[in-house]
């Protein structure tokens, strides 16, 4: 569904900001240096639970270049907040190791860093608990999980159905804590001008960050401006306010000068969120032919003692396959750990690893091909809500993926194919992600020179958002992309939803289309004449989003993997990855391919490498850098391909687009794990698939 006959939507337009990026003219948060700037370096707690007795800053204040040292005893007071994570330096309590407990401000970064190391803190440490266990005494059911889904859902009598099912799979799967590691670390520059606060920040949502910061300082949102035109990746970690932003603003208020604060890579492992570890029990009951009669999916996960974040791990299980009896539950325990948060495809990534691994086990138990098993359990409507799907092309993705991958004639027997020292295996998994849309606003302006300026506070975190919004605007304005200037990344621009939940294009694009349509109508009324001052129109999609038709809206996909496992060492290499997706209309094939491949690469990394290891004695993650927290590199990604189906869905948005940023990671880890089983005959249910697990 296109907005006009121009047709730039759907073309592989080069990134409109490419020149700025490759020449270094694109300015990222840390590169802003206002006059009279000073530098802030935080001090982190070295205990996991307890109280601060004393903070000795006398020696620090005498250190060359030091402007001040701030801790709970002298920090400006913040207004109470629902998010206690943002109550920086407001209490002597320590909730987790690595929590910010002080900050040193100095004339140079080097002076601030050296002085921060001199601060002596005396604690009253208390016994801490940092271990997630399925039998933990403090487990509870949260009211809701992320995105406001109910924590538990039950239909029919799954226990009775499982008791009578001819075939049952009952297995426990686990995923470790994983940390977002975007190339650009988090950074903030904060400056006060009278009663106004300006923040240059690496954020996925300038509008949302402004709304989070303003109340803490007792200010109306209009007095806070967040500027973030370029962001070097986020993976969800920059989707919400984190303590460093508040700390920078607080320090700037205290010293009366602009403050620059960069979060180091090691600090990011404590203060900018991570994916919660999960323990998941999946039970599948089926007839002998593999048709499901019952599904249960029980999840255990963690949050911090100061803030609740409950990931929606079992939610995709509710709508993925047809089964008359089903139950999904989430249980949470509050530990002395940092607060988890969003990480690419929160809920879907770990939850679908468990479900799709269990489906592979069911296929083997029933003697049914894994692709065919999924086809047999295709629902006619959403099993959870009963709503019709706006579009659902999972079966087509499975069929097309199998054709392209060469799945036909696959020998299902595990552990029998050897090439030299490599045991070879192939696996498949399905993927899904909701097609969200949030309300946003935009303005479109016709300039006297014949060009157009479109404004919206969207965020481009490297995905190409600035480019595809330019294409969308060009079509709606019946012009070419070269005639459109797209201004984004500033909370002073019309309000925009966060770049997260794979809803950026759908949300921002709708607002851009509506603003451009209004402008075109105004120009037509004026006979195409643009006065010297230009003409501007605006739109807000709040009402449109509220009143959208009732459908279950999801993107779907299928990932296929081939692995080689060294028969002696257990080292696993992914030899081939192939994904086929149905995600509505693809706005730009070039940027879309990058998103799909990036997601699958991250899924490969999740399957084989990524793991944050908690030291129970010290209550901290041990591998807090990229030397020890391993992520997939070029050598790990040998052959990766992404394809998509032409899918028309009139029930989404004016562009007919579904989000694509996250579905690539969903399913990939399970496809790799299933391929490892096919290669070796060993089922690894606990990620990552390290060689020591296979050797054992």
C-alpha to C-alpha distance for 335 and 338, rounded to whole angstroms? 8
Q: pLDDT digits over 280-320, tens only?
A: 999 999 999 999 999 999 999 999 999 999 999 999 999 99
Whole-number pLDDT of residue 696: 74
pLDDT at 6: 56
Measured torsion, CA atoms of residues 277, 620, 208, 236, in degrees rounded to the nearest 10? -50
Q: Verify cis geometry, omega within 30 degrees of 0, for the bond prior to 688.
A: yes
166 within 8 A of 334, measured Cβ to Cβ: no
Instruction: Enumerate the β-bridge partners of residue 346.
Output: none
Distance CA(345)–CA(115), nearest Å, equals: 40
Is 662 catalytic? The answer is yes
What does DSSP say about strands 441-446 and 66-71: parallel, antiparallel, or unpaired? unpaired
Answer for the pair 280, 313: CB distance below 8 angstroms, yes or no: yes
3-state secondary structure of 597: helix
The pair of structure tokens assigned to 490 is 């500033």
**What's the rounded mean pLDDT across residues 425-451?**
98
Cβ-Cβ contacts under 8 Å for 120 (sequence gap 6 or more): 55, 56, 59
Residue 256 vs residues 67, 250, 409, 483, 504: alpha-carbon distances, Å: 11, 10, 71, 42, 36
Provide the token pair at 98. Answer: 């690595």
Nearest to 372 by CA among 385, 357, 362, 382: 362
Q: Which of 455, 427, 318 is nearest to 364 (CA)?
A: 427
3-class state of residue 606 by DSSP = helix
Structural class in CATH, domain 144-178+275-435+551-695 = alpha beta
Quick check: 252 and 29 in contact, CB under 8 A?
no
Structure tokens at 194: 């009278």
* DSSP H/E element including 252: helix 243-255
List the structure tokens of 384. 């959870």
Fold of the domain spanning 18-28+438-546:
Aldehyde Oxidoreductase; domain 4 (3.30.365)
pLDDT of residue 396: 98
Give me the pLDDT at residue 109, please.
98
Rounded CA-CA distance 33/31 in Å is 6
Distant-in-sequence, close-in-space partners of 559: CB < 8 Å, separation ≥ 6: 401, 428, 429, 430, 431, 577, 578, 579, 600, 603, 667, 668, 670, 671
- Quickly state the pLDDT bin for 3 (edges 50, 70, 90): very low
- The yes-or-no verdict on residue 631 having pLDDT over 70 is yes
pLDDT digits (tens, 9 = 90+) for 480-492: 999 999 999 999 9
Q: Which fold has domain 32-127+183-233+238-271?
A: Aldehyde Oxidoreductase; domain 4 (3.30.365)
User: Do 472 and 7 contact (CB within 8 A), yes or no?
Assistant: no
pLDDT band at 232 (very low <50, low <70, confident <90, very high): very high
Beta bridge partners of 490: 227
Flag whether pLDDT at 673 surpasses 70.
Answer: yes
Of residues 286, 253, 452, 504, the one with CA closest to residue 377? 286
Distance of alpha carbon 445 from its chain centroid, rounded? 33
Q: Where in the chain is the domain with CATH 3.30.365.10?
A: 18-28+438-546, 32-127+183-233+238-271, 144-178+275-435+551-695
345 contacts 312 by C-beta, under 8 angstroms: no
Task: Print burial letters for 136-150: b (CB count within 10 Å at least 16), e (below 16).
Answer: beebeebeebbeebe
> Which residue is listed with tokens 């993107």?
555
Q: So what's the pLDDT on residue 331? A: 98
Residue 2 has pLDDT above 60, yes or no: no
- Average pLDDT taken over every residue of the chain: 97
The CA–CA distances, whole Å, from 373 to 361, 362, 395, 400 equal 11, 8, 11, 16
- CA nearest 162: which of 25, 358, 415, 348? 358
Q: Please write the tens of the pLDDT for every residue from 76-128.
A: 999 999 899 999 999 999 999 999 999 999 999 999 999 999 999 999 999 99
Q: Which of 301, 361, 610, 662 is an active site residue?
A: 662
Q: Are strands 38-44 and 292-304 parallel, antiparallel or unpaired?
A: unpaired
pLDDT value at 651 more than 60: yes
Summarised one tens digit per residue, pLDDT across range 465-484 is 999 999 999 999 999 999 99
Q: What are the backbone dihedrals phi and psi of residue 221, each rounded to the nearest 5 degrees, phi first?
A: -55, -30
């Amino acid at each position: 569904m296109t907005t006009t006959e121009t047709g730039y939507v759907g073309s592989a337009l080069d990134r409109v900001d490419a020149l700025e990026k490759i020449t270094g003219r694109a300015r990222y948060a840390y590169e802003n240096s206002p006059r009279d700037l000073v530098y802030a370096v935080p001090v982190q707690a070295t205990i996991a639970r307890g109280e601060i007795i004393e903070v000795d800053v006398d020696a620090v204040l005498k250190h060359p270049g030091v402007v001040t040292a701030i801790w709970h005893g002298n920090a400006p007071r913040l207004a109470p907040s629902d998010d206690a994570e943002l109550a920086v330096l407001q209490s002597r309590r320590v909730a987790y190791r690595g929590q910010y407990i002080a900050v040193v401000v100095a004339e140079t970064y080097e002076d601030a860093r050296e002085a921060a190391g001199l601060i002596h803190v005396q604690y009253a440490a208390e016994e801490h608990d940092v271990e997630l266990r399925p039998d933990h005494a403090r487990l509870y059911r949260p009211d809701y999980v992320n995105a406001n889904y109910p924590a538990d859902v039950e239909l029919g009598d799954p226990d009775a159905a499982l008791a009578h099912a001819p075939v049952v799979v009952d297995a426990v799967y686990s995923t470790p804590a994983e940390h977002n590691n975007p190339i650009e670390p988090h950074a903030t520059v904060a400056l006060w001008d009278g009663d106004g606060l300006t923040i240059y920040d690496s954020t996925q949502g300038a509008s949302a960050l402004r709304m989070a910061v303003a109340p803490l300082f007792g200010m109306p949102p209009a007095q806070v401006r967040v500027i973030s035109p370029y962001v070097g990746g986020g993976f969800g970690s920059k989707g919400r306010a984190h303590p460093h932003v508040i700390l920078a603003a607080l320090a700037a208020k205290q010293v009366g000068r602009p403050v620059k604060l960069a979060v180091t890579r090691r600090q990011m492992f404590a203060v900018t969120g991570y994916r919660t570890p999960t323990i998941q029990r999946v039970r599948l009951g089926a007839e002998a032919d593999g048709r499901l009669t019952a599904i249960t999916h029980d999840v255990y996960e963690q949050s911090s003692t100061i803030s609740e974040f409950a990931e929606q791990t079992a939610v995709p299980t509710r709508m993925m396959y047809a089964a008359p009896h089903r139950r999904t539950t989430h249980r949470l325990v509050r530990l002395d750990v940092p607060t988890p948060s969003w990480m690419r495809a929160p809920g879907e990534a770990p939850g679908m690893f468990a479900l799709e691994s269990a489906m592979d086990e069911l296929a083997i138990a029933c003697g049914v091909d894994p692709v065919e098993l999924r086809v047999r359990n295709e629902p006619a409507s959403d099993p959870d809500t009963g709503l019709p799907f706006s579009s659902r092309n999972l079966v087509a993705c499975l069929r097309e993926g199998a054709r392209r991958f060469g799945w036909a004639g696959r020998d299902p027997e595990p552990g029998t194919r050897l090439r030299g020292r490599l045991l070879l295996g192939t696996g498949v998994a399905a993927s899904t992600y909701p097609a969200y849309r949030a309300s946003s606003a935009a303005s479109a302006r016709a300039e006297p020179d014949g060009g157009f300026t479109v404004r919206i506070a969207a965020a481009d975190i490297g995905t190409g958002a600035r480019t595809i919004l330019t294409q969308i605007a060009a079509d709606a304005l019946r012009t070419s992309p070269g005639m459109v200037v797209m201004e984004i990344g500033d909370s002073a621009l019309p309000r925009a939803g966060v770049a997260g939940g794979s809803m950026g294009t759908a949300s921002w694009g709708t607002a851009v289309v509506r603003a451009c349509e209004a402008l075109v109508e105004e120009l037509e009324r004026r006979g195409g004449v643009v006065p010297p001052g230009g003409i501007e129109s605006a739109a807000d999609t709040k009402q449109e989003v509220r009143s959208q038709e009732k459908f279950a809206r999801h993107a779907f996909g299928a990932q296929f993997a081939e692995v080689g496992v060294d028969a002696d060492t257990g080292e696993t290499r992914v030899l081939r990855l192939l994904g086929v997706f149905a995600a509505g209309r693809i706005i730009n094939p070039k940027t879309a391919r990058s998103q799909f491949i990036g997601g699958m690469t991250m899924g490969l990394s999740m399957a084989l490498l990524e793991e944050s290891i908690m030291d129970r004695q010290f209550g901290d993650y041990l591998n807090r850098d990229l030397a020890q927290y391993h992520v997939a590199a070029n050598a790990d990604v040998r052959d990766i391909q992404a394809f998509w189906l032409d899918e028309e869905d009139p029930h989404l948005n004016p562009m007919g687009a579904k989000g694509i940023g996250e579905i690539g990671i969903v399913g990939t880890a399970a496809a790799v794990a299933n391929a490892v089983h096919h290669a070796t005959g060993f089922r690894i249910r606990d990620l990552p698939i390290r060689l020591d697990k296979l050797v054992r």
